[in-house]
Amino acid sequence: MKKEITLAIIKPNATEKKATGKIIDMILEAGFEIKAMKMLHLTKKEAEGFYEVHKDKPFFNDLTDFMSSGPIVVMALEKENAVEDYRKLIGATNPAEAAEGTVRKLFGENIERNAVHGSDSPENGIKEVGYFFSNLEFVN
Ligand code: IDP
Ligand code: MG
């Protein structure tokens, strides 16, 4: 199967509770290769740009406030079937509905503060990675 790229974000509620290392470990243990990684604190505008597809949703304003409220860690992850496998590793959007042992079950607080982001398709994986990383920031 062909290798895919997906974007992972460790969200502000997870960096705040010092779960960054544990989440990165789960990602590596699951067989993902980290091709690019950095920590940053988004402005409200940068968070709005990233979540543009959700701009008409009722939760858009709260979500972008949350995502710009503290440091995040963004990663470009590579693996066969990366998009689907990473979404399996993190669990359902709502931590209350996420399977046992998933990242969101372990570290999410509610449907908004759900610890991590994952791309929803290979096309969006490439697009979202491009929002955060330039070619120079990739390891080969
Ligand atoms: P996903 O992150 O599992 O792909 P999306 O539907 O793409 O879920 O939503 C993006 C993010 O918006 C979620 O990860 C979560 O932080 C937030 N979100 C989604 N649905 C709700 C909601 O109903 N209320 C508040 N926040 C939400
Ligand atoms: Mg999504």
Q: What are phi and psi of 130, to 5 degrees?
A: -65, -25
Query: pLDDT over 90 for what percent of the chain?
Result: 98
- Judge whether 5 and 82 are in contact, CB under 8 Å: yes
What global pTM score does this model have? 0.98
32, 40, 41, 72 from 37: Cα distances, Å: 13, 10, 14, 11
Question: What pLDDT was estimated at residue 2?
Answer: 83
Question: What pLDDT was estimated at residue 121?
Answer: 98
**How sure is the predictor about 1, in pLDDT bands with cuts at 50, 70 and 90?**
confident
Which residue has a Cα nearest atom 15 of ligand 1? 112
CA–CA separation, 104 and 109 (whole Å): 8
Q: List residues with catalytic annotation.
A: 117
Mutation probe of ligand 1 site: the residue of 50, 52, 59 with most atoms within 8 A of C-beta: 59
Angle (deg, nearest 10), helices 82-90 and 122-132: 80
**How sure is the predictor about 140, in pLDDT bands with cuts at 50, 70 and 90?**
confident
Question: What pLDDT was estimated at residue 27?
Answer: 98
CA–CA separation, 7 and 17 (whole Å): 21
110-136 mean pLDDT:
98
33-50 mean pLDDT:
98
Q: Which pair of structure tokens corresponds to residue 116?
A: 């991590």
8 pLDDT above the threshold of 80: yes
Q: Which pair of structure tokens corresponds to residue 112?
A: 């908004």
Residue for token pair 């709005």: 48
107-131 mean pLDDT:
98
- Give me ligand 2 centre to Cα 120, in Å: 6
- Give me ligand 1 centre to Cα 114, in Å: 8
CA–CA separation, 50 and 67 (whole Å): 10
- Judge whether 133 and 6 are in contact, CB under 8 Å: no
CA–CA separation, 34 and 79 (whole Å): 9
63-92 mean pLDDT:
98
Domains of the chain by range and CATH? 3-134 (3.30.70.141)
